């Protein structure tokens, strides 16, 4: 029996802090393991730890199938999803800015000397879980009883209980988006703005966001991911820290191919005319047992 990291599924927190680090390859593995152990033992906020492919391969033999670095997606019309792969990602979330900042500061200090902070993104829940475009985000997320099955590698496979993670920071062009009439904004997203009801397929544009972000298998069944995205920003830059968890990494690849127009149908997501990714990394968020194993040297 494996135990996923609880913070992946903890909901109701409104303050989020994402930290991405580059780790010095010359640092002894036991030093890294000791720092991670101190981080996961924090109890005041939800803390989730994810590892890049290379770092996890050095620390553990429990490397799941498909784990790899994020690779750049060069899409239609000059749209690009860049790769900014880092070694270690830490997500802290809680009910207050003060507690979350304290924990994020502790995590950074625990890694000082062998890990450099590459990306720091302070995020928040916006009103009733809306993106800064004004649309509710994560409407199609699986309910709690099904979320673990969607997000976690199943029992019997290497890395069981762990999750593949996608982390991207998207910058919105809200000025351009807000120039659209609400009805036109709804056609870009594929949902009604007020209540998040999906526009019927027979009138929804083929390039609407929800159509391009939904990945289906060869039999027409959805291959879902578990989304935990949150907005970030200030008066100068605003956007979304896109965060997803999956039992299989190639679900992310397929979704991005559909969004950027590199899939077989040659269509792309209209939303990327108004929002641009500036970072992109894949991580592995191991089970608690696999994290404990690296600390014990097994």
Structural domains in the chain plus CATH codes: 6-295 (3.30.70.1030)
Q: Show the DSSP H helices in 43-192 as ranges.
A: 53-59, 97-110, 144-151, 174-178, 182-189
State mean pLDDT over 106-112. Answer: 97
pLDDT digits (tens, 9 = 90+) for 162-180: 999 999 999 999 999 999 9
Token output for 245: 């968890």
CA distance 90 to 55: 14
- Asked if residue 2 has pLDDT above 80, the reply is yes
CA distance 92 to 104: 6
User: Would you state the pLDDT for residue 49?
Assistant: 98
Are the C-beta atoms of residues 259 and 274 closer than 8 Å to each other?
no
State mean pLDDT over 4-9. Answer: 96
Are the C-beta atoms of residues 285 and 88 closer than 8 Å to each other?
no
User: Would you state the pLDDT for residue 298?
Assistant: 46
Token output for 228: 């935990």
Considering the chain, what is the average pLDDT of its residues? 96
Q: Taking the alpha carbons of 35, 36, 41, 42 in that order, is the dihedral positive or negative?
A: positive
CA nearest to 186, candidates 198, 168, 174: 198
- Asked if residue 237 has pLDDT above 70, the reply is yes
pLDDT digits (tens, 9 = 90+) for 74-85: 999 999 999 999
- Asked if residue 295 has pLDDT above 90, the reply is no
State mean pLDDT over 97-106. Answer: 96
User: Would you state the pLDDT for residue 136?
Assistant: 96
CA distances for 23 relative to 84, 85, 86, angstroms = 14, 12, 8
pLDDT bracket for residue 144 (50, 70, 90): confident
* DSSP β-bridge partners for residue 164: 246, 284
User: Would you state the pLDDT for residue 285?
Assistant: 98
State mean pLDDT over 255-259. Answer: 98
CA distance 145 to 76: 38
User: Would you state the pLDDT for residue 296?
Assistant: 74
- Asked if residue 143 has pLDDT above 90, the reply is no
Of the listed 77, 87, 102, 137, which one is catalytic?
137
User: Would you state the pLDDT for residue 31?
Assistant: 94
State mean pLDDT over 23-46. Answer: 92
User: Would you state the pLDDT for residue 133?
Assistant: 98
3-state DSSP assignment of residue 173: coil
User: Would you state the pLDDT for residue 184?
Assistant: 98
Are the C-beta atoms of residues 224 and 236 closer than 8 Å to each other?
no
CA distance 278 to 281: 11
- Asked if residue 297 has pLDDT above 90, the reply is no
202, HSE (Cβ side, Cα atoms, 13 Å):
0
CA distance 80 to 71: 11
CA nearest to 267, candidates 140, 137, 79: 79
DSSP codes joined into one string, 221-248: -B---EE--EEEE-SS-EEEEEEEEESS
**131 included as an active-site residue:** no
CA distance 72 to 75: 9
CA distances for 56 relative to 33, 67, 219, 249, angstroms = 11, 9, 34, 15
Token output for 28: 């002894």
């Amino acid at each position: 029996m494996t135990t996923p990291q609880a913070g992946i599924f903890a909901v109701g927190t409104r303050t989020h802090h994402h930290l991405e680090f580059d780790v010095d390859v010359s640092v002894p593995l036991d030093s890294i393991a000791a720092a991670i152990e101190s981080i996961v033992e924090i109890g005041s906020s939800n803390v989730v730890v994810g590892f890049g492919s290379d770092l996890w391969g050095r620390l553990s033999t429990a490397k799941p199938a498909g784990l790899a670095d994020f690779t750049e997606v060069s899409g239609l019309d000059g749209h690009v999803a860049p790769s900014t792969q880092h070694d270690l990602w830490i997500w802290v979330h809680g009910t207050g800015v003060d507690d979350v900042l304290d924990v994020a500061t502790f995590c950074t200090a625990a890694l000082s000397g062998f890990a450099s902070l590459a990306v720091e993104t302070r995020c928040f829940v916006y009103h009733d879980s809306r993106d800064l475009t004004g649309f509710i985000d994560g409407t199609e997320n699986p309910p709690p009883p099904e979320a673990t099955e969607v997000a976690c590698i199943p029992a019997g496979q290497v890395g069981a209980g762990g999750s593949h993670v996608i982390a991207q920071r998207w910058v919105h062009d809200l000025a351009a988006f807000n120039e659209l009439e609400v009805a036109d904004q709804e056609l870009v997203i594929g949902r009604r703005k007020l209540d998040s009801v999906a526009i019927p397929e027979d009138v929804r544009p083929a390039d609407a966001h929800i159509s391009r972000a939904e990945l289906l298998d060869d039999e027409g069944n959805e291959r879902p991911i578990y989304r935990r995205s949150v907005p970030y920003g200030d008066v100068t830059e605003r956007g979304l820290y896109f965060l997803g968890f999956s039992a299989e990494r190639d679900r992310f690849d397929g979704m991005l191919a559909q969004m950027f127009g590199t899939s077989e149908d040659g269509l792309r997501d209209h939303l990327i005319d108004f929002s641009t990714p500036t970072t992109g990394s894949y991580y592995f968020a191991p089970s608690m047992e696999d994290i404990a194993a690296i600390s014990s040297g097994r």
